[in-house]
Amino acid sequence: MTIAEEEIRKFENHNCAENNVFYQAMEEVIYSIAPLLQSDEKYRKHGIMERLVVPDRVIKFKVTWLDDNNIIQVNTGYRIQFNNALGPYKGGLRFHPTVNEGVLKFLGFEQILKNSLTGLHIGGAKGGSDFDPKGKSDFEVMKFCSAYMTELHKYIGARIDVPAGDIGVGSREIGYLFGEYKKITSTYEGVLTGKPFFFGGSLMRPEATGYGAVYFTESMLEMEGKEPLMGKVCTVSGAGNVAVHAIEKLTQIGAVPVACSDSKGTIYDSRGIDVELLKDIKLNKRQSLTKYAEVHAEAKYIPIEEYPEGGHAVWDIPCYAAFPCATQNELTEIDAQNLINNGCVSVTEGANMPSTPEAISLLQSHKVCFAPAKAANAGGVVVSEFEMSQNAAMSKWGFAKVDERLKETMQMICKRVALTAKDYGVEGNYVDGANIAGFKKVADAMIAEGI
Ligand SMILES: NC(=O)C1=CN([C@@H]2O[C@H](COP(=O)(O)OP(=O)(O)OC[C@H]3O[C@@H](n4cnc5c(N)ncnc54)[C@H](O)[C@@H]3O)[C@@H](O)[C@H]2O)C=CC1
Ligand SMILES: O=C(O)CCC(=O)C(=O)O
């Protein structure tokens, strides 16, 4: 039995229906770090994996709120504080009907290693609720956020745990959450990141994840001796915060992002996505992507039901570089095969774990440059940490400073991941490089801090 198999066997009890995505994330990490466990016995001796896969605490609570018809609604709220060996717990909040403990454990676990890769002092956490903001009025979202914070405020603080946004949580929700925290605690502190700029947010936090994924890709392509993105056709899935800003940065650097998607369908616009229109439809008005095709008749809208099951229309559009920026396991083996058949050279994960393990193996075996989420989408949490620094110092950084530091950090992460992969005999494998480098730093801190 190999070390990886031995380790995976220890954690078989985590493999149940609710934990399937958590188990998927954990299994990938164990396979990647096996050479490290083999070469340095201290990690097993100190039971690092055993300690890392169990969150420090899982906070689960009832959220009761009144809808616009004065009917009582009940949701479940969570905060999973996973690991604070490197700094205060840090990670987003997701509001989506699919949220459960298993999904948040996967996201929190990934966040530990992602935050470690940034080189900043931030631990890993994730939280959220099964509340669905879709179709709710602003007032209902506000009431839900207030009720959620009524419970959450007991567990967070600028030096304890600093939540931010994720799916379904943008600056509107962060604003309401911050307002309630301030009201309950009478404290004006950097307890949340992703705040609107005019009351303590950092410039560029909304753009950071998407921009960062593009910076990472440019760096990876250069390191792998591939042509840069300028002039190249790109495809992006999703149409939320990460996707829109990836499209915006691609457009700024002269690439041609031709596609985006939401849970109902895909837009293909061969002239390049009109990013201002997309922002207005998805980020301001929260409308369906069909509106895009109503304005630009030349663009094609492909409803999800018109594409064969098992694959996704967005990955069947020829591209040089693909950016999955929607949600977990949205890029399947069938999609990977389509990308390969169409000559795709690189795949960058803007979303968290958007590619299935089978898709990753296939892409890597065909030498497609593959940038895993925990490295490539770290830009969001990096600028969140910049926001924490600015709040702590009561200062404000200009756009150029944030952008420059974000770019530098993404380049540093890319280099560190590539060099780690090389050191461990898996040159070009950014998945293994990211897992080993991320794990090693947290593990060393856990050993140094004792049990
Ligand atoms: N917001 C951030 O700063 C960060 C977000 N992420 C990850 O990026 C991904 C997207 O997050 P956000 O853009 O913030 O969320 P968002 O709520 O702004 O947007 C999500 C988008 O994905 C679309 N979507 C959902 N399910 C889909 C599906 N099955 N097929 C196609 N589109 C689908 C939605 O319609 C929406 O347009 C998530 O995996 C999140 O965890 C990762 C790092 C930071
Ligand atoms: O900005 C943050 O604190 C967390 C962002 C996040 O949730 C993520 O990186 O997945």
Under 8 Å between Cβ of 310 and 334: yes
Under 8 Å between Cβ of 359 and 431: no
d(CA 71, CA 225): 59
**Interval 245-290: pLDDT, tens:** 999 999 999 999 999 999 999 999 999 999 999 999 999 999 999 9
Under 8 Å between Cβ of 258 and 274: no
Q: pLDDT-based confidence at 14, cuts 50/70/90?
A: confident
Domains, the chain, ordered by start: 3-189 (3.40.50.10860), 206-371 (3.40.50.720)
Q: Which two tokens stand for residue 40?
A: 């340095």
Instruction: State the amino acid at position 92 in one-letter form.
Output: G
Position 16 scores a pLDDT of: 82
Q: Inform me whether the pLDDT recorded for 129 exceeds 90.
A: yes
Q: Inform me whether the pLDDT recorded for 11 exceeds 90.
A: no
d(CA 359, CA 354): 10
Q: Inform me whether the pLDDT recorded for 8 exceeds 90.
A: no
Q: What is the mean pLDDT of residues 331-360?
A: 98
Q: Which two tokens stand for residue 65?
A: 């709120």
Q: Inform me whether the pLDDT recorded for 10 exceeds 90.
A: no
Position 12 scores a pLDDT of: 83
Nearest to 292 by CA among 248, 256, 262: 262
d(CA 372, CA 363): 12
Strands (E), 34-181: 57-66, 72-83, 89-95, 124-129, 161-164
Catalytic residue of the set 105, 126, 143, 374: 126
Distance 208 CA to ligand 1 centre (A): 14
Ligand sitting nearest the alpha carbon of 265: 1
Position 73 scores a pLDDT of: 98
Ligand sitting nearest the alpha carbon of 91: 2
**Which numbered atom of ligand 2 lies nearest the CA of 93?**
7
Whole-number average pLDDT of the chain:
97
Q: Tokens 């069938």 appear where?
A: 334
Neighbours of 13 (CB within 10 A): 7
Position 3 scores a pLDDT of: 87
Q: Inform me whether the pLDDT recorded for 6 exceeds 90.
A: no
Kindly state if the Cβ of 168 falls inside 6 Å of ligand 1: yes
Angle between helices 205-223 and 399-423 (to 10 degrees): 40
Position 427 scores a pLDDT of: 98
Neighbours of 134 (CB within 10 A): 11
Q: What is the mean pLDDT of residues 161-166?
A: 98
**Which numbered atom of ligand 1 lies nearest the CA of 326?**
22
Predicted structure pTM score: 0.97
Kindly state if the Cβ of 403 falls inside 6 Å of ligand 1: no
Under 8 Å between Cβ of 171 and 203: no
Q: Inform me whether the pLDDT recorded for 243 exceeds 90.
A: yes
d(CA 8, CA 264): 37
Kindly state if the Cβ of 193 falls inside 6 Å of ligand 2: yes
Position 17 scores a pLDDT of: 81
Distances (CA, A) of 100 to 10, 47, 111, 225, 335: 24, 27, 17, 42, 27
Nearest CA to ligand 2 atom 7: 92
Residue 116 is labelled as binding a ligand:
no
Residue 100 is labelled as binding a ligand:
no
Kindly state if the Cβ of 174 falls inside 6 Å of ligand 1: no
Q: For the chain, what is the total number of helices (H) and then of strands (E)?
A: 17, 12
d(CA 275, CA 249): 10
Q: What is the mean pLDDT of residues 183-207?
A: 97
Position 187 scores a pLDDT of: 95
Position 240 scores a pLDDT of: 98
Position 362 scores a pLDDT of: 98
Q: Inform me whether the pLDDT recorded for 54 exceeds 90.
A: yes
Kindly state if the Cβ of 91 falls inside 6 Å of ligand 2: yes
Q: Inform me whether the pLDDT recorded for 15 exceeds 90.
A: no
Ligand sitting nearest the alpha carbon of 115: 2
Give me the residues paired with residue 268 across strands: 259, 300
Residue 20 is labelled as binding a ligand:
no
Q: Give percent of the chain with pLDDT exceeding 90.
A: 96
Q: Tokens 């008005």 appear where?
A: 285
Give me the residues paired with residue 303 across strands: 265
Position 255 scores a pLDDT of: 98
d(CA 284, CA 405): 28
Distance 324 CA to ligand 2 centre (A): 16
Q: pLDDT-based confidence at 385, cuts 50/70/90?
A: very high
Distance 171 CA to ligand 1 centre (A): 14
Strands 265-268, 256-262: pairing kind: antiparallel
At residue 113, what are phi and psi to the nearest 5 degrees?
-75, -35
| Ligand 1 pocket mutation, candidates 273, 327, 381, criterion most atoms within 8 A of CB | 327
Distance 389 CA to ligand 2 centre (A): 16
Instruction: State the amino acid at position 20 in one-letter form.
Output: N
Residue 90 is labelled as binding a ligand:
yes
Q: Cα 443 from chain centroid?
A: 22
285 assigned to active site: no
d(CA 377, CA 210): 7
Under 8 Å between Cβ of 180 and 103: no
